[in-house]
């Protein structure tokens, strides 16, 4: 029967249901496509606990990844990669350093790579490790960083690395391989990038460990730059720590690292500033004088390979990175002493009278006053104490007649020095290893 004008068309029920089903399917598909995907954070690591992350990306040497996320994470957080020593592990680095508690305080995320090979040492020697994207451990660590950036929408301009011993060597390697990824590093008892290089499959380079491999600053810089040929962008800043009595990775490596990273940064090997943040420590800064200088180097007198000190060095590394938001490295608390200095300068020389006051309640029997002369100053003679060395980090030792300093008593010592333009007085003093107030 044919339809006539004005008569409604009655579709069969089956056709109507089919059309309705197709419409619903199309609407549902559109809604699914338009809906935002589940945030990666919803399936990320729990907070305030160390968590192993698996399937984090390309991992040619089967490293393990451990992650610490504080309860309160800043928006677009920074990332710190904390690399363990030989025989260590990610969990050992977590429990043996204060980076997790610092993350709680400042809201950054910590990645702890962990070696699975028998030696538990990182590969800092193979040709693969010393080339960007070449393979081995650096590629796995880069994957950890990428996973964390993608999962937490991290700030790619604030990614840092630090490590101890083998981890310090890996810190050097990471900054050489991936200068476009890492903003800065802090290496505790390490060696320069490329110093440990081998081609026979060995993980150990005795010549480097013994401190017998030396190069010019330009040569060291070229070795680091060769890891990423053609890269012309900014280079990461570096903080270096080493003990003068290190018998595992000997102290000459410290000077070679300074040569390498000052050259990489394009700054002078002459320190822009020198001070003594603690007794026996000499800190030199290159290319700048603040807490975030291009290169900072801390030498620890008579300290061996295991120099890392919980509660002191970690915060100073964090300040160097700028992760403490204020950028001011913690200084030792002022002790029961006060030092005042009066200087009289002329065009090439000066005299300084230094008054030490015992503000404590017990008598000091025998004292040493440590301070750092400004760059360019050299002591030519002194009185009421002996001074050694004559420049840089100086220690003044009492004379036989003024070794005893009773409570509220003072002693005045002094020295004459030459200078090359900076006639300022030292800015910080420690008495028998304890910081004094100045005034």
pLDDT recorded at residue 245: 96
pLDDT recorded at residue 43: 55
pLDDT one digit per residue (tens) for the chain, 439 residues: 333 333 333 444 455 445 545 554 454 444 444 433 434 454 589 999 999 999 999 999 999 999 999 999 999 999 999 999 999 999 999 999 999 999 999 999 999 999 999 999 999 999 999 999 999 999 999 999 999 999 999 999 999 999 999 999 999 999 999 999 999 999 999 999 999 999 999 999 999 999 999 999 999 999 999 999 999 999 999 999 999 999 999 999 999 999 999 999 999 999 999 999 888 999 999 999 888 999 999 999 999 999 998 888 999 999 999 998 743 444 444 468 999 999 999 999 999 999 999 998 889 899 999 888 888 899 999 999 999 999 888 899 999 999 999 999 999 999 999 998 888 888 888 888 778 888 7
Query: How far apart are the C-alpha atoms of 260 and 214, rounded to whole Å?
Result: 10
Please state, in angstroms and as integers, the Cα–Cα distance from residue 428 to each residue in 279, 358, 439, following that order: 11, 16, 10
H or E stretch covering 139: helix 136-152
In 3D space, the residue among 219, 225, 226, 306 whose CA is nearest the CA of residue 256 turns out to be 219
Q: Which residues contact 55 (CB under 8 A, 6 or more apart)?
A: none
pLDDT recorded at residue 44: 80
Q: Are 96 and 78 in contact (CB under 8 A)?
A: no
Question: Which tokens is 187 given?
Answer: 């290496």
pLDDT recorded at residue 13: 42
- Would you give the end-to-end CA distance of the chain in angstroms? 112
In 3D space, the residue among 338, 342, 357 whose CA is nearest the CA of residue 415 turns out to be 342
pLDDT recorded at residue 362: 87
Catalytic residue, chosen from 61, 126, 136, 165, is 165
Active site residue 165: yes
The crossing angle, in degrees rounded to 10, of helices 313-321 and 99-106 is: 50
């Amino acid at each position: 029967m044919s339809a006539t004008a004005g008569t409604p068309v009655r579709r069969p029920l089956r056709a109507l249901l089919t059309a309705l089903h197709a419409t619903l399917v199309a609407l549902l598909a559109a809604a699914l496509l338009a809906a935002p995907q589940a945030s990666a954070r919803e399936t990320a690591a729990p907070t305030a606990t160390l968590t192993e992350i698996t399937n984090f990306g390309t991992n040619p040497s089967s490293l393990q990844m451990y992650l610490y996320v504080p309860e309160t994470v800043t928006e677009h957080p920074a990332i710190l990669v904390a690399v363990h020593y030989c025989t260590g592990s990610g969990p050992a680095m977590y429990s043996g350093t204060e980076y997790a508690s610092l993350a709680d305080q400042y809201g950054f995320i910590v990645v702890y790579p962990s070696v699975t090979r028998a030696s538990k040492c990182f590969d800092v020697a193979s040709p693969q490790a010393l080339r960007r994207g070449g393979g081995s451990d650096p590629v796995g660590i880069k994957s950890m960083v990428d996973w964390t950036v993608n999962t937490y929408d991290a700030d790619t301009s604030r990614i840092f690395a630090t490590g101890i011993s083998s981890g310090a060597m890996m810190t050097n390697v990471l900054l050489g391989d991936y200068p476009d990824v890492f903003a800065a590093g802090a290496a505790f008892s390490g060696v320069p990038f490329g110093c440990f290089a081998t081609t026979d499959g060995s993980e150990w380079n005795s010549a480097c460990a013994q401190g017998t491999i030396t190069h010019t600053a330009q040569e060291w810089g070229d070795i680091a730059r060769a890891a990423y040929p053609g890269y012309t962008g900014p280079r990461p800043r570096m903080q270096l720590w080493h003990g003068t009595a290190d018998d595992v990775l000997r102290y000459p490596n410290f000077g070679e690292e300074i040569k390498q990273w000052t050259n990489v940064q394009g700054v002078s090997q002459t320190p822009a500033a020198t001070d003594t943040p603690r007794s026996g420590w000499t800190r030199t800064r290159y290319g700048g004088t603040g807490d975030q200088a291009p290169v900072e180097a801390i030498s620890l007198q008579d300290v061996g390979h295991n120099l890392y000190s919980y509660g002191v060095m970690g915060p100073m590394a964090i300040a160097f990175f700028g992760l403490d938001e204020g950028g001011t490295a913690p200084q030792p608390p002022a002790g029961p002493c006060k030092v005042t200095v009066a200087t009289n300068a002329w065009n090439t020389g000066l005299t300084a009278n230094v008054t030490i006051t015992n503000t404590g309640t017990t008598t000091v029997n025998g004292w040493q006053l440590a301070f750092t002369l400004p760059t360019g100053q050299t002591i030519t003679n002194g009185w009421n104490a002996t001074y050694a060395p004559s420049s840089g980090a100086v220690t003044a030792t009492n004379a036989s007649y003024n070794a005893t300093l009773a409570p509220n008593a003072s002693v005045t010592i002094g020295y004459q020095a030459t200078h090359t333009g900076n006639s300022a007085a030292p800015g910080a003093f420690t008495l028998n290893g304890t910081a004094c107030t100045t005034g």
